[in-house]
């Protein structure tokens, strides 16, 4: 299932189960039995995908919490969201 519209804030798929342990999220997608382990930044972005924060707000938080430039954060968040969408992990 993809996001309802490009303007809608991204959110985690409702059936995705996840836990964050020592800064790394482990995500389980029951419909496909996928298990994904994310690095610290990916885990933080995953936590922020609540359907309330838009992509720009997520990028702002990444820039505040991690040592990165806005340009790099925008590119990385955009690519990460595209990967999540391609794997049907957004809902």
* pLDDT tens, residue order, the chain (91 aa): 444 445 689 999 998 888 888 888 888 887 765 678 889 999 999 999 999 999 999 999 999 999 999 999 999 999 999 999 988 889 8
Buried b (16+ CB within 10 A) or exposed e, 55-65: beebbebbbee
Query: Domain segments of the chain: what residues?
Result: 17-86
Residues 6 or more apart whose CB falls under 8 angstroms from that of 66 comprise 40, 41, 44, 73
Which ranges in 4-90 belong to alpha helices (H)?
40-48, 55-65, 70-86
pTM of the model: 0.83
């Amino acid at each position: 299932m993809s996001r309802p519209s490009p303007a809608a804030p991204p959110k985690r798929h409702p059936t995705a189960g996840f836990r964050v342990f020592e800064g790394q999220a482990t995500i389980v997608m029951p419909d496909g039995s996928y298990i994904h382990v994310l690095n610290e930044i990916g885990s933080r972005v995953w936590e922020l995908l609540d359907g309330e924060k838009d992509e720009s707000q997520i990028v702002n938080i990444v820039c505040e919490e991690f040592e990165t430039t806005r340009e790099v954060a925008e590119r990385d968040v955009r690519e990460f969201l595209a990967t999540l969408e391609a794997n049907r992990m957004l809902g």
